[in-house]
Amino acid sequence: MRLTLGHLDKTRALRTEDELRDLVTAIYNSPTTTQETNWLEWKSALNLSVAEGRFSVAKAILGFANRSVSEAQRSCEGVAYMVVGVEPGNAPGVPTFDHATLGQRVKTYADGPRWMAHYVELADVTVLVIVVEAPRAGDHIHTLQKEFSNDRTRHQAGTVFHRGTAQTQPAGPKELAMLEERLLDGRRNPGLDLEFEAQAEPLTRLSADIDEINDWLNRHEVYVRANSGEPPPPPPPPRSPNPSIGSLANLTSFVVPSSLGGMFGPQSATAEDGKEFNRRVEDYLARIRNGVVDHMVRGVVESDENKVVFTVGNETDDSVTGVKLTAKIPRTSLVVRGSPPAVEPLPRRLPKWPDRGTDYLTEIQMAALARETNNYVFDPREPSVVEKDTLFEATWDIGDLRPREWSDPLTLTIVAGPDAPSALDIELTASSLSHRCTKSWKTSVTVGAGTWTIDNFLDAEIGD
């Protein structure tokens, strides 16, 4: 069987002469459609006696040296290779070049990464194999030392190259952030020894059953209509089309505008007033229906119920800096909140039948109440909560923990639905800027048999 890149053993670094010859042979025997990888690049021809050829080698070395440690370790123990003089199905070879001279000239562009040049014989030609050592935690960010330009491209000194899936390009923001993290990893302690505690009473379920909500709305509508005042029937028509100006018998119903009726006694109404009153009732109930579930969730979050409290402790003799805690909770018929959700205000007054003299003042009062509804003071200890496909992820920035110091209580609200399991699994993971490793811990929270409904949050017979 012909050796190809698909059959090559990549579980260990290729270093010996035979192993490097196998690499060159595998490249040559591979199909012409074979793609380069994040650990292997080849050039069928490259003139190393000119700046463009030397820059091409330096660029590849810099790109391989600026990979992430974890990505590099997936093949050949992190070691990478640039091969010059062979490609799939073609092996023209290269002229030999003095190692010392080649090394000095490449260093004008790439000084820092560890690499070695080898010449390998394949049939009747010589192939150059550049072996680039694996990146490690703590490695510096390797940059281009000297500007290079030709009629096609220009790269300034200081450019950071990164090897991606199959090509080397200037690093973007994500790659630069990865390289910064790699540099910091070398200065971190390897182990993270933190302690965890979790406290929670059994959670109460929240039912937002549509039938229960409709029943509450029906009961509330009965109360609203009984206490808002139905519009009185329209007055009878006047006896004469031209009443005497001296007669005051029908003054309140004929002369006084309806907007002033409340000043003189019972206000008359029209058929349109009845329709408008019904419209107001329907709108009032619709606003409650649309917002009641969010208000129920907010009520749970603002209460002292359904709280899970975590603490993280450092019982070692050394300080731990930049501690961050992440809690992962599966999405199983529940909602996880770190702060109350923003909600539209529910109507705070029962609908009244139309009165142009008082409607304007009522709207002013309603607006003032609406501004007070979402009045909330941010607590810096609140977590950021992200809802993902299969779980909720809550994260707290704890900061530094001195020896024998524990964090402040870290509170999370879990709103469990009717179908939530009786026990919720929670996985905690702590990380630190001063340590490379993380520390994980698992716990569970019990969901009790008790259930809240809409009647626990809103009284159907109180409207004002």
Q: Map residue 382 onto helix, strand or coil.
A: coil
Q: Name the amino acid, one letter, at 85.
A: G
The whole-angstrom separation of Cα 423 and Cα 426 is: 10
- Pairing assessment for the beta strands 410-416 and 334-337 based on DSSP bridges: antiparallel
The single residue listed with the structure tokens 């290079």 is 148
Query: Which pLDDT score is estimated for 232?
Result: 66
The whole-angstrom separation of Cα 158 and Cα 144 is: 5
Query: Which pLDDT score is estimated for 179?
Result: 95
Each residue's pLDDT, cut to its tens digit, for the chain (464 residues) gives: 799 999 999 999 999 999 999 999 999 999 999 999 999 999 999 999 999 999 999 999 999 999 999 999 999 999 999 999 999 999 999 999 888 889 999 999 999 999 999 999 998 999 999 999 999 988 999 999 999 999 899 999 999 999 999 899 999 999 999 999 899 877 767 788 999 999 999 999 999 999 999 999 999 988 888 887 666 666 666 665 555 444 434 433 433 344 333 433 445 567 777 788 888 889 989 999 999 999 999 999 999 999 999 999 999 988 999 999 999 999 988 899 988 888 888 887 777 766 654 554 444 444 433 334 445 455 657 899 999 999 999 999 999 999 999 999 999 999 999 999 999 999 999 999 888 789 999 999 999 999 999 999 989 887 54
The whole-angstrom separation of Cα 407 and Cα 59 is: 47
Q: Are 436 and 445 in contact (CB under 8 A)?
A: no
Q: Are 415 and 176 in contact (CB under 8 A)?
A: no
Q: Name the amino acid, one letter, at 294.
A: D
The whole-angstrom separation of Cα 148 and Cα 164 is: 21
Largest CA distance in the chain: 130
What is the per-residue DSSP string for 258-294? Answer: GGGHHHHSSPP--HHHHHHHHHHHHHHHHHHHHHHHH
- Pairing assessment for the beta strands 423-432 and 320-330 based on DSSP bridges: antiparallel
The whole-angstrom separation of Cα 237 and Cα 254 is: 9
- List C-alpha distances in Å: 193 to 289, 318, 394, 399: 50, 10, 21, 15
Per-residue tokens: 26: 């595998």
List b or e across 407-438, with b for residues whose CB sees 16 or more CB atoms inside 10 angstroms: beebbbbbbbeeebeeebebebbbbbebbbee
The whole-angstrom separation of Cα 27 and Cα 42 is: 8
CATH for 17-186, among 3.30.950.30, 3.20.20.70, 3.40.50.450, 3.40.50.1700? 3.30.950.30
Per-residue tokens: 220: 């509330």
Q: What is the pLDDT of residues 298-328, one digit of tens each?
A: 999 999 999 999 999 999 988 999 999 999 9
Query: Which pLDDT score is estimated for 1?
Result: 76
Q: Where in the chain is the domain with CATH 3.30.950.30?
A: 17-186
Query: Which pLDDT score is estimated for 372?
Result: 43
Q: What is the pLDDT of residues 30-66, one digit of tens each?
A: 999 999 999 999 999 999 999 999 999 999 999 999 9
Closest alpha carbon to 347 in 462, 452, 456: 462
- Pairing assessment for the beta strands 168-170 and 154-155 based on DSSP bridges: unpaired
Instruction: List the Cα angle 126/130/133 in 5-degree steps.
Output: 155
Q: Where in the chain is the domain with CATH 2.60.40.10?
A: 194-230+271-367+377-456
Beta bridge partners of 125: 122
Query: Which pLDDT score is estimated for 256?
Result: 38
Beta bridge partners of 318: none
The whole-angstrom separation of Cα 302 and Cα 442 is: 26
Q: What is the DSSP letter of 230?
A: P
Q: Map residue 106 onto helix, strand or coil.
A: helix
Q: Does the domain formed by 194-230+271-367+377-456 have CATH 2.40.128.720?
A: no
